[in-house]
């Protein structure tokens, strides 16, 4: 008899602790999904400054890429030009092809 009362008490205590934990987690999860605050003037100013910096970086990167890029040649096209003892590149051969220094063509 006494053991059944103890068992009921322990079950009741366990049930109460489980219910209190689930209630606490529900309160925390409700706080996590609050509506965000509207932007302040400082946030907008910071975003504008970042946009200007990104535009400058994109312009700088694109100008360096334009100078260093060499167009691709098709197979059999001229890929180099002879300037006296030197050979200069007109274009770069595609994947799997090489520029032959004797024929000056992509093979």
> What are 86's strand-pairing partners?
83
> What is the third-level CATH fold of 72-106?
Omega-AgatoxinV (4.10.40)
Q: Give residue 37's pLDDT.
A: 62
The reported pTM is 0.34
What confidence score (pLDDT) does residue 63 get? 53
Residues of the chain with pLDDT under 70: 1-3, 12, 15, 19-39, 60-68
pLDDT at 56: 83
Q: What is the predicted pLDDT for the residue at 1?
A: 57
Residue 74 burial by Cβ neighbours in a 10 Å radius (0-12, 13-18, 19+): exposed
**Contact of 77 with 98, CB cutoff 8 Å:** no
């Amino acid at each position: 008899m006494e053991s059944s009362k103890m068992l009921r008490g322990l079950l009741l205590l366990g049930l109460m602790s489980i219910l209190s934990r689930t209630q606490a987690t529900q309160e925390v999860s409700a706080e996590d999904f609050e509506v965000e605050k509207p932007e302040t003037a400082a946030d907008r100013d910071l975003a504008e400054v970042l946009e200007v910096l990104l535009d400058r970086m994109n312009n700088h990167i694109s100008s360096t890429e334009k100078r260093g890029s060499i167009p691709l040649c098709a197979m059999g096209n001229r890929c180099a030009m002879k300037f006296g003892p030197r050979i200069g590149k007109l274009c770069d051969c595609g994947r799997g092809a090489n520029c032959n220094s004797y024929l000056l063509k992509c093979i």
